[in-house]
Amino acid sequence: MELRASDTTIPAGDVRLSGDLVVPAEARGVILFAHGSGSSRHSPRNRMVAEALNRYGLATVLVDLLTRDEESVDDRTAALRFDIGLLTGRLVSIVDWLSTGEPAGRLPIGLFGASTGAAAALSTAAQRPEQVYAVVSRGGRPDLAGADLPRVRADTLLLVGGLDDEVLRLNEQALAELDASAELRVVPGASHLFSEPGTLDQVARQAAEWFVGHLPA
């Protein structure tokens, strides 16, 4: 499959963020990744999922939602990774940037969120209902989206490891708040990081199939 890959600088309000954009030939959509809990665009788990999405003909954007100075602060305090308002604001700006069509063409947009990034993805979907069509959460904390959950209109898939009891409980609570077409699926034998053999492959496949099935043609 022919891929166009590039390092890119993304405008997000009053800052500029570093990102990696991969666009397959004749892409059917673009998926923006929202990491969380101290991770970055270099996360091997997110990169594995992104490569799977590329094979399904989906463009991907992996981006560091914090600047280098902010990452230094977060490394010491772990505070900014839980600042859902800040992360959401950055994601909204990137969605608006993607919607111009300049980065990857005018493609329907989906969001893939992990950990606290899942809450920011859902809040972004609530704020941009006409631009974000689908959301997938991997081991996420959708509960942290709070009052935004009932406002989400994007089709939403919540993927949780079967061994991740507390996060599973929080996802069940969030599912009850989601008004959109939402589904919770449990990956058997998986812990929070999906480090068990084959479990991340299941996440990648289910995420790809969800986006392909829920983004407009």
For the chain, what percent of residues have pLDDT higher than 90? Answer: 72
Report, as an integer, the average pLDDT of 57-83: 82
pLDDT for residue 72 is more than 90: no
Task: Evaluate if residue 123 carries a pLDDT over 60.
Answer: yes
| pLDDT value of residue 38 | 57
Is residue 90's pLDDT more than 60? yes
Position 6 confidence tier, pLDDT thresholds 50, 70, 90: confident
* Cα 43–Cα 49–Cα 55 angle in degrees, nearest 5: 135
What whole-number distance in Å separates Cα of residue 179 and Cα of residue 216?
A: 20
What average pLDDT does range 101-125 have in this prediction? 93
Residues making up the chain, counted from first to last: 217
pLDDT digits (tens, 9 = 90+) for 129-154: 999 999 999 999 999 999 999 999 99
- Residue 140's nearest CA partner among 171, 177, 175 is 171
pLDDT at residue number 11: 87
pLDDT mean over 185-204 = 96
Q: Looking at residue 1, what is its pLDDT?
A: 57
pTM above 0.85, yes or no: yes
Q: What is the mean pLDDT of the chain?
A: 91
Band (40; pLDDT cuts 50, 70, 90): low
Closest CA to 125 of 103, 157, 160: 157
Q: Residue 136 to residues 68, 112, 160: CA-CA distances in angstroms? A: 27, 5, 11
Per-residue model confidence (pLDDT) at position 145: 97
- What pLDDT score does 75 carry? 75
Question: Where residue 179 falls among pLDDT bands split at 50, 70, 90?
Answer: confident
